[in-house]
Structure 1
Amino acid sequence: MNTVKGCQRPRIEHRPAPGIKNHANEVAVAAQLCGLLLDEWQEYALQLATQRRSDGQWSAYEVGLEVARQNGKSAIIEARIIWGLFFNKAEKTIVYSAHEFKTAVEIFNRLVGLISSNPRLMRLIAPNGIKQGNNGRGIKLKDGSEVKFLARSGGSARGFSGDLIIFDEAYALKSEQLAAMRPTMAARSITGQPQLWFASSAGMPDSDVLNGMRGRIIDDPQQEPREHTVYQHEHEPKLLWMEWSAHHEMDSADLEARRLANPSLGVRISLEFLDDELRGFLGDPEKGEEAYRREYLGIRPVAAKAAALSLAHFKSLHDPNAEMSDVVALAVDVTPSRDYAVISAAALCPDGRILIEVVDHNVGTDWVTDALKQLKANLNPVRIIINAGDGAAALAPEFKRAGIRVTEISMKQYVQACGQFLDDYKARRLVTRVEQEVLLDAVKIATMRFFGDTLFRWNRKNPLENIAPLVAVTLAVRGLEYKRNRQAREEGIGGVKKKPRRLAIGH
């Protein structure tokens, strides 16, 4: 008899600001009316996800749920939909979407089966309210409330608008799909109580949305907890993240690893089954152990583990007493959507370090030329850098008309600048005098896009992640290059020594 039980609390849990009540009991009762009984861990997830603030809004606008396969994630989704459709009248439209159409159909069929078991609920459904078509499935009530079942295949975001939107198989969710429906959710935030759910097994290397959410909580895999840990970051007051997973250093056959990742162990999943699956994956050259660890232990593939920069290391570069010289370079960067721009500066310090700072940032680009003109007059920068291949290049003619001379660097030079910045970061040659939230946020989410084996640039694949402050300071550091080279030659490093020095050995 299998007496080993899975952990009922997630290993990594981030809670939003506390609410005053939750609807977990109501959701569980609604599910029970349809014959769906929830486990302890499922009720716990719903308890956190259905908390409300005093103003009636959800405590969590974004709900992230990661759990290994076959544990009963779908039951949580089904219970939430049943309660939202029949009992929570604030949710007039619910949208469930999956990466594959067959998954959406499966959930639809299960829900129809559950609802059909309760005559009282069936009487609330509109005539011909259960729709089955090639373009999607749906259930509509007599009062107009409805739930739609859609597939995201093909990249379309059409139809992704509602009071409650559930992205199942979120490891395959594309950032473009999420970006396309954000404006509709913004409009609903004025008149309604919107909530987004992201449910999934562990993310893949290209799971931009899912990995981005997780990265807002854990930026360094080396700092991950080994057991249930609750976070509550002030800068993420509306994010709920619940992750049942094993620590990446645990062995694939480790009993505790299996307990951490499988809350339904001993109920729906047996140790024997996991042993069989491990042997099967090890014997499959197309899957292998890494695939088993992702699907049954919730451990992300190696390529998705590490962020480009450690937030803890970057914060350690802070020195409020750092002195700067009058050798300053400026840089401008604009997001690909042109909805935000930033001006950053880099300055040589007497001790050889480089002071970096965001000096101005705002929405849009209309303000940039005037701000840059004023900074040029005040700081007399040695260079003003923009990347010829990015959004700021469109402002170059405007800068010229305003009498601002800028240096446009090529993509090859920008790639070199990224490598130079990383070297300076690792060698602790960078310093900040103030901890700027916009820069820290960019550092936290930064990833690399590689060209060949060693060259890279900061990755802008996800339009929802704003790394413009990091790009701008990277460019500003590049603007000091020739001054640094001159300084190096004067110090006898990498050039002709003006004052030859002797190495002192011993005494």
Structure 2
Amino acid sequence: MRSPQPELSGWQQPRFRNVPDYVDSLADEVLDLAAVVGRVQIPWQIDATTDFMGVGRDGRWSASKCAILCARQNGKNGIAENMELGWLVLEPGVRILHTAHEMPAAINSMNKLVQLLEAHPDLRAMIPRGGVRRRGGEEGIKLRNGSSIMFRTRTDSVARSFSFDRVVIDEAMIYSPESRNAIAATMTTGKNPQTIYLGSAPNFLEHPNCEIWSSIIRAGRSGADPTLAYVEYSAPEDADPGAQESILRANPSTGYLTSFGYLHGEFESARALGESGIAGYKVERLSIPVFPPDPEEAAAHEPIADMTCWDAGEIGESFSPPVTGASALGVARDWGGEMTAVVSAAFCEDESVHLEVGAAGAPNTHADVEFLAGAVDLQDPVAVAMDAKSPTTVLEPGLLLKGIEAVKSSAGEMGQACLMLVTWIAEGRITHSGDPLLTEPLALVKKRPIGTTGAWGLDWRCEANIAPLVAAALALWALVTRSAQAPDPQPPAPAGIDDHTTTTAWDSDDEAAGTSFLATAGF
């Protein structure tokens, strides 16, 4: 049963579609069965079901793997429900595993399938007494014809003692290699096996186990895997996020399950949050992925800075270059909530700048403010700098209560800071202690365009956490641009490791924190 066409509807043709050739599709029978139980289909759901149930001349699935990338609340799970219903009823004895990242999602899928089976008396009669099990850890459905389906969350040993013919991977953007290995073992003896992946756009910064889904998307877009049937509804990366076309291309069920007005309202709410809100909106609603670094690209990556010059600027921790006393602090916090970093930049007598990581640990707003206040007391820096459009701004109220007014960089000034950092490294004007918290991200980070002027910032999509590097760039920028405005600084009192008395959540006894208190930087 096809849903009627609304006046303003989402695009029914996918942006990417790479599907192996098939001579026939079993979708006709399946969709007829779904219509009998009252299931109304949106055109794109019919097309995807048809592609995924295509068969070759040997009667086997033309695609052993099927994947659909589509934004949430568009009904992609309806495709899996169509197929699961058809498999259970029309293929006696089939064994199915439906997995999700969290149990509520798995139970929701089970409840929908039970409702479909109970919607027609003939199908209801196929469920024996006790055929629907809802006990914790045993959720599933068994029919009189021997077909069965289990619903589970994904673990390292999910359903390891069972064997299945079909597997559905819901919430595919959170799918670990350990879960994949456990699930793959269950299909070794499967009859005409097939795996269905359902997912929204991955965000490497929020989904640490999105590598498998990302690799499927890349293969699906390129058509490189002849065993994969792939369908994607998304907007191009450079699309205007608030444009009608962008929203309709990425949300095929607009006008059927939701309205354009509601989706555009989501854009307006995201825009009010600034750059971070738009970034999240593009992932969640426009299905524009934030991929993890591609291994091949990473191997060919050229660092943004001259690493030979950087290495030449390394001095041992036991050596303290003569400093003038003028210093600045930079503070940065990553969007994933993993690290707050504080870095000092101090002028040396030869007009070079010494960079040093003072602390890098799990974010704790109160402790972060206390640490910065202690560092300010020790150093009397010309400025404490942070990015105006970053999570670090949550520290601002606490710093103001301490009498510390942070300097907040604009997008353009952040570009100045990044360019200044790599330029000064190339000119041999940066010294450091070789801290891997700076060296590793500097070697791995990529440039992120800022606006249309050619300015660039540091791309947070990096294998290493770049918070210390961002803090270093901000500290250098603040030192250079604010020193002329500051009174002549007094040399800081020596502050060796044994002399430091500031106590924070980043104390050196904290195994999760990296802390250094050298006289060179004065912390």
Which range, TM-score by smaller chain? 0.5 to 0.7
Q: Structure 1 pair 137/287, CA: closer, same or farther in 2 (3 Å)?
A: farther
Q: Determine which of 6, 19, 24 is the counterpart of 1:15.
A: 19
| Partner secondary structure for residue 97 of structure 1 | strand
- The offset of 1:57, in angstroms, is 1.6
1:308–1:448: 8 Å Cα contact kept in structure 2? no
Alignment of 1:167-206 (within 5 A): 167-188=169-190, 192-205=191-204, 206=208
Question: What are the superposed Cα offsets for residues 330-389 of structure 1, whole Å, 9 maximum, x if unpaired?
Answer: xxxxxxxxxxxxxxxxxxxxxxxxxxxxxxxxxxxxxxxxxxxxxxxxxxxxxxxxxxxx
Alignment of 1:341-352 (within 5 A): none
Structure-1 residue corresponding to 2:431: none
Q: Determine which of 54, 57, 60 is the counterpart of 1:57.
A: 60
Q: Structure 1 pair 51/289, CA: closer, same or farther in 2 (3 Å)?
A: same
Question: What are the superposed Cα offsets for residues 259-291 of structure 1, whole Å, 9 maximum, x if unpaired?
Answer: 211111122221110122123334458972222
- The offset of 1:183, in angstroms, is 2.8
Write the distance in 2 (CA, Å) between the matches of 1:97 and 1:158: 10
Question: What are the superposed Cα offsets for residues 297-341 of structure 1, whole Å, 9 maximum, x if unpaired?
Answer: 11113xx17635459x99xxxxxxxxxxxxxxxxxxxxxxxxxxx
Write the distance in 2 (CA, Å) between the matches of 1:248 and 1:239: 23
2:99–2:106: 8 Å Cα contact kept in structure 1? yes
Write the distance in 2 (CA, Å) between the matches of 1:452 and 1:35: 52
Structure-2 residue corresponding to 1:119: 121
Q: Determine which of 191, 207, 212 is the counterpart of 1:209.
A: 212
| Partner secondary structure for residue 176 of structure 1 | helix
Write the distance in 2 (CA, Å) between the matches of 1:14 and 1:454: 42
1:28–1:37: 8 Å Cα contact kept in structure 2? no
| Partner secondary structure for residue 263 of structure 1 | coil
Write the distance in 2 (CA, Å) between the matches of 1:286 and 1:148: 42
| Partner secondary structure for residue 256 of structure 1 | helix
Alignment of 1:375-454 (within 5 A): 449-450=463-464
2:110 aligned with 1:132: no
Q: Determine which of 286, 295, 309 is the counterpart of 1:297.
A: 286
Structure-1 residue corresponding to 2:51: 48
2:271 aligned with 1:267: no
Question: Which residue type is aligned with residue 9 of structure 1?
Answer: Q
Q: Structure 1 pair 146/71, CA: closer, same or farther in 2 (3 Å)?
A: same
Structure-2 residue corresponding to 1:104: 106
2:13 aligned with 1:37: no
Question: What are the superposed Cα offsets for residues 200-256 of structure 1, whole Å, 9 maximum, x if unpaired?
Answer: 1111213111101112244xxxxxxxxxxxx644xx221111110110111111111
2:155 aligned with 1:166: no
RMSD value, Cα: 3.1
Write the distance in 2 (CA, Å) between the matches of 1:83 and 1:177: 26
- The offset of 1:7, in angstroms, is 1.2
Structure-1 residue corresponding to 2:265: 276
Structure-1 residue corresponding to 2:148: 146
Structure-2 residue corresponding to 1:157: 158
Question: What are the superposed Cα offsets for residues 456-479 of structure 1, whole Å, 9 maximum, x if unpaired?
Answer: xxxxxxxxxxxxxxxxxxxxxxxx
Write the distance in 2 (CA, Å) between the matches of 1:183 and 1:156: 10
1:136–1:151: 8 Å Cα contact kept in structure 2? no
Question: Which residue type is aligned with residue 158 of structure 1?
Answer: A
Write the distance in 1 (CA, Å) between the matches of 2:75 and 2:65: 20
2:69 aligned with 1:66: yes
Write the distance in 1 (CA, Å) between the matches of 2:33 and 2:275: 42
Write the distance in 1 (CA, Å) between the matches of 2:275 and 2:141: 39
Question: What are the superposed Cα offsets for residues 409-431 of structure 1, whole Å, 9 maximum, x if unpaired?
Answer: xxx9xx99xx79x9xxxxxxxxx
2:243 aligned with 1:254: yes
2:201–2:287: 8 Å Cα contact kept in structure 1? yes
Higher CA-based Rg: 2
1:2–1:271: 8 Å Cα contact kept in structure 2? no
Question: Which residue type is aligned with residue 294 of structure 2?
Answer: A
- Aligned-pair identity (%): 28
| Partner secondary structure for residue 275 of structure 1 | helix
Question: Which residue type is aligned with residue 106 of structure 1?
Answer: N
Question: Which residue type is aligned with residue 111 of structure 2?
Answer: N
Alignment of 1:304-323 (within 5 A): 304=291, 307-309=294-296
Question: Which residue type is aligned with residue 307 of structure 1?
Answer: D
Structure-1 residue corresponding to 2:338: none
Write the distance in 1 (CA, Å) between the matches of 2:286 and 2:15: 12
Question: What are the superposed Cα offsets for residues 119-177 of structure 1, whole Å, 9 maximum, x if unpaired?
Answer: 1011111221011111142110112211111122x544235741110011111111211
Question: Which residue type is aligned with residue 18 of structure 2?
Answer: H
Q: Structure 1 pair 448/145, CA: closer, same or farther in 2 (3 Å)?
A: same
Gaps of 5+ in 1: 219-230, 315-411, 423-446, 456-507
Q: Structure 1 pair 180/101, CA: closer, same or farther in 2 (3 Å)?
A: same
2:292–2:462: 8 Å Cα contact kept in structure 1? no
Q: Structure 1 pair 281/2, CA: closer, same or farther in 2 (3 Å)?
A: farther
Question: Which residue type is aligned with residue 32 of structure 1?
Answer: A
Structure-2 residue corresponding to 1:380: none
2:167–2:194: 8 Å Cα contact kept in structure 1? yes
Write the distance in 2 (CA, Å) between the matches of 1:7 and 1:94: 31
Aligned length: 307
After TM superposition, the score normalised by the length of structure 1 is: 0.56
Write the distance in 2 (CA, Å) between the matches of 1:204 and 1:136: 32
After TM superposition, the score normalised by the length of structure 2 is: 0.54
Q: Structure 1 pair 115/268, CA: closer, same or farther in 2 (3 Å)?
A: same
Question: What are the superposed Cα offsets for residues 385-444 of structure 1, whole Å, 9 maximum, x if unpaired?
Answer: xxxxxxxxxxxxxxxxxxxxxxxxxxx9xx99xx79x9xxxxxxxxxxxxxxxxxxxxxx
Question: Which residue type is aligned with residue 201 of structure 1?
Answer: S
Alignment of 1:327-346 (within 5 A): none
